[in-house]
Structure formats: structure tokens, C-alpha cells
A and B are shown apart, each in its own frame.
Chain A
């Protein structure tokens, strides 16, 4: 037996450096994290202030006033209502459409695969540009959609410029862009379902409609939930489509959270109110994103397990 006294200090140093190593690798990402957190907390700070860029001399803490004012502020309630309406309307319609299309394309035929790839194109179009495209298509002078409306008897359809159809128009753009997202997620979900339950049901002579309600839909539910939450998170923050289409108008018809906050900041230069608005929106998305991440992690574990 040789002397077994180990050189303790040297060993400890080695171990410490190997422990530090992963931190070193993720340090840049950590810095970006901090870089995001600083403006976030600044926004929290602003939201507690009376702060207008145009009146720097008038700046000061007013603590919860910005938030308290919301309670009696009809334009805030309008914003909340429009945002929620927009979010639930788009996600609801997109879910129905996306599920329907996914079911149509479920079989792995060459045509179906081709179509599902083609349907990705709207999703890959920048939402702001998609809004621009629809703006051209609904132009009263030459827009093809205006022409179709006219043929169908709606001679005076003014789409996004008319308060009664403005919401419908931006929802249409949202549906055009984002339905493929839900479709492609649900299609992947549908195609990954095990086949045995369906074979068993077919042997037992279960009608197909019943198969859908009793087997397909319950098994697809995790995917539906993930897709819905994902979209809800995006949709309640929608900015690009609405801003590019109408900048929140006509009137305050489409003043969703981020558009309102943007205009508050840059037009009314009311930083305090803008920040408070965004924090209310953040609270909603924080709640939703926690739900989503839980769901998504579970699905992700499963997807990784299949490899």
C-alpha cells in the first residue's frame, strides 16, 4: 500500500472549476436574461409614477394611482373588452377551423402532405404584411374582397374602416395567418395517436361520429389545449395586424392593450399609464403562460420519450 493522503487543495480546485463550467457556458444567455429583466422592472417603476415625456418637470411617484384610475376609466374597460373579444373570437374560430382541416388532412397521402405544406405559407407571412395584403384586398376601388362583397349584395361594405365590420376584418386576417398554426399542431397530434383504440372501436362497430367524440377528441385534448393556450397568449397581445390595418380605429373600436399602450406612450407620451396598461396585460399573460408552460412541458416530455 502506498501513502494515500490526497492533495486536497488541488483536488478541490479542479472540482470547483468543473462545477463553474456550465455557468460559464450559459453566462451570455444569463446576461440577456438580466438585460430583459432590467427594462421589465423599469416598466414596473414607471407604472407607479406620474410620468409624461412632454412634462418632465411634473414627474413623481403616484404609487397605485395609474392602476386605481383604470377602475373608473371607460377607455381601459373598452381596451380590456376588445382585447378579450379579439382573443377568444380568433382562438375559438381558429380552433374549429384548424381541427376541421387537420381532420381532412389526417391521412398521410401525398396530396394531403402537399396541401399541409402549402397551408404553412400564410403562417410564414409577417402578420403586418398580411394585414397590408388584406388592406389592398379590401380597398374600395379595386379590392377583390370588396368586389366579392358587392357581387354578394353588400355594396357598401367598408371593411376595416367601418366600426361595425372592423373587428370582423382584423379577425379574418388573424384567422388567415394563424389557423395553419393550430392545424399543423393538431395534425401532428392526430397522426401521433395510437391506432389500436380506433381499430378496436371499428371492430366493435362504433359509429365514426362517436369515435370522434369518445376517442379522437379526448386523446387529442393535450394538443388542443397547448395550441389554444399558445394562441391565446399571442392573440391577447396582438399588435401587428391591428396596428398595420387600422392603428386601433375606427374610433376606439380596436384599441387592444398593446396598441393602446403604444399610442399612450408615443402620442400622448403618458409613460405611466402606458406602463400600467402593459403590466395589466402582463399579469394576464403570466397567468396564461404558466398554464401553457405546464401543458407544454408535459407534451414535450412525451414527444422526447417517443424518440
Chain B
């Protein structure tokens, strides 16, 4: 559209370079740190020339931290496993609950449908502790405290609105005539839902599921409040790890890298849908 002068082009280039450096550098630096021993990490001035080692990762995977003072067990792998269980479980539950509801909201403007959708949405924006603190007391009473199911149920606070609002938009985009045509052809309601509506909304469902997974994985506060040590996901686990391991900086960095890799990989894979998902369908990517 515009013609830029050479000076402007150079300035733009520099600005972009600074932007990329600022946003990429922390990830890059943590990655480098995770490949170093404590000795090279503590070197001053810092240098990017070092002999890379996988010992930090090995220690985390083995679950043993050996320092020159003592040797201690650390169970970061179980934190990773918990993250997987909680995120996959929450997304699965949110899909089971959310997709049929999204369809009902998209196709049948029944009384109260908007109210339910908006209640869910408004709690997406309400302070999570408001719901969490009373829940800790309830959970102790009904025995859901410190169970995966209890946590997964609370995670619906993040996952369900996301699934509901994104998938609803995709269902709304399907022409009702296409569904009518399939039913007139002689197929039942359910078979129409399964063979027409679901496949046509599949990209949206996949995108919403990926995003819900990322948000569930990245969640911190729910697990901090509700999960005890053996149910903690990586976000909470990594923090505890820092306190426990003290000065094992290389291992901490490796733990951080292991914790953020799944979401970064998924985000890159699903980047096409991110804009739409992040804005709950308000902005088309």
C-alpha cells in the first residue's frame, strides 16, 4: 500500500528485531540454561559458549537430584503426568458437556438459553477465587477434595465457556438447510447431528479443544488452591520445585522447558485458530 523510504525501512527492521528479541529471548535463555551445569550457569560474565549437557533432563526424568551436598528425590514427572491427566480430562469433559449444549444454543433459541450461555461466560471473567474458596470447604465435605475428578470439574470454569462459545459459532455457520436436507432424506435427528453437524463443525471443535487444553495446562490458581502435592500439575509443581531444590538452577530451567513445551507445540500447531479462540469468536483470524 505504502512506499517506504530506505531510512524508514531500516528503522522498521530495527524495531522488529527488538520486538523479536524481547519476546523470544527469555524462552531462548531458559532453554540454554537447561542445557548447562550449575558451574557454567554461575559463570560471570555469562556466555553462550558452553558444552551442552542433558544431565538436567536426565535428573528430572530419573526423579533424583544429586547435589554435592546431598541427594534428594523429586517427583517432577508425576507433576507432568498430573498436568496431562487434568488437561485431557477437563477438555474431554468440556467437550461432552459443551458440544451438545453449543448445538442447542446455536439451533434452538429456547427460553433461558442465552441466560445459561451468559452466566457461563460471565464467570469466565469473575475472580476465580470467589468460587474456589467456598469450593475448598464444600469439597472437603463431599469428598471431592484432592481428587482428579474434583479438579477436572472445577477446570470446567475455563474450558466450558471456551468450548461453548467457539463451537456455537461454528454450528451457527452451518446452513440449517443442510441439516434439514439430511433429515428430509430420511435420517434421524441424532444421525444428522453425527453425520452432518459434527463433521462440519469439526475444525471449530478441534480448535476449541486445543485452546481449552492450553488454558487448562497453564492454569495455576485452581490447582494451587485445591490440589495437594500428589495431584499438582506442572505450574504449581515447578514453584514447589524451586523451593525444594534451592540452587539446582539447571534442573529448574529444564523443568520449566518441559512444562511449557506441550503448550507451545500445540499453539504452533493450532495457530490458525488462536485468534478466533482467544477472542471467543469475536475476531476472525
Q: Indicate if A93 sits at the interface (CB-CB under 8 A).
A: no
**B259 x A124 contact (CB < 8 A):** no
Interface string of A92-126 (1 = CB under 8 A from B): 00000000110011010000000101111111111
Contact with A along B269-284 (1 / 0, CB 8 A): 0010011001111111
Measuring CB to CB, which residues of chain B are less than 8 angstroms from any residue of chain A?
A: 1-2, 12, 15-16, 19-20, 22-24, 26-27, 29-30, 33, 41-46, 96-98, 100-101, 103-105, 107-108, 110, 112-113, 116, 118-123, 125-135, 137-138, 153, 156-157, 160, 164, 169, 172-173, 214, 217-221, 224-225, 234-236, 238-239, 242, 249, 252-253, 256, 259-260, 263-264, 266-268, 271, 274-275, 278-285
Query: Given A121-B264, A142-B44, A299-B283, is A32 in contact with B156 using a C-beta cutoff of 8 Å?
Result: yes
- In the complex with contacts A22-B107, A282-B130, A104-B281 CB distance below 8 A: no
A37 to B29 Cα, complex, angstroms? 44
**Assembly CA distance A100 to B235 (angstroms):** 31
Given A25-B100, A35-B153, CB of A121 within 8 Å of CB of B267: yes
Q: Which chain A residues lie closer than 8 Å to B172 at the CB level?
A: 304
Min Cβ gap A145→B in Å is: 9
Complex Cα gap A299–B107 (Å): 21
Please pick, from A22, A180, A198, the residue contacting B23 in the complex, using a CB distance under 8 A: A180
B119 touches A120 (CB 8 A): no
Do residues B160 and A293 form an inter-chain contact, with CB atoms below 8 A? no
Closest Cβ neighbor of A46 among chain B residues: B134
Contact of A36 (CB < 8 Å), options: B113, B157, B252: B157
Question: Can you list, as one digit per residue, whether each of A246-281 has a CB less than 8 Å from chain B (1) or not (0)?
Answer: 000000000001100110010000010011001101
Chain B residues with Cβ under 8 A from A292's Cβ?
125
**Looking at the complex, which one of B12, B217, B225 makes contact with A104 (CB distance below 8 Å)?**
B12
Q: Which of B97, B127, B219, B278 contacts A281 (CB 8 A)?
A: B127
Complex Cα spacing A128 to B27, Å: 14
Contact of A136 among B100, B119, B235, B252 (CB under 8 A): B252
Cβ of A70 within 8 Å of any chain B Cβ, yes or no, is no
B224 to chain A: closest residue by CB = A243
Q: Is the CB of B285 within 8 A of A188?
A: yes
Q: Is A181 an interface position by the 8 A CB rule? A: yes
Nearest neighbor of B16 in chain A, beta-carbon distance: A104
Q: How many chain-A residues does the 8 Å CB contact rule pick out?
A: 98
Contact A40 B131 (CB under 8 A): yes
| Pairwise interchain contact B282-A128, C-beta atoms closer than 8 A | no
Q: How far is the CA of A2 from the CA of B266 in the complex (A)?
A: 65
Q: How far is the CA of A278 from the CA of B127 in the complex (A)?
A: 7
Q: Which residue of B lies closest to A233 (CB)?
A: B125
A151 to chain B, nearest CB (A): 8
A265-B16 in contact (CB<8A): no
Cα-based distance from A23 to B45 in the complex (angstroms): 65
| A78 in contact (CB, < 8 A) | no
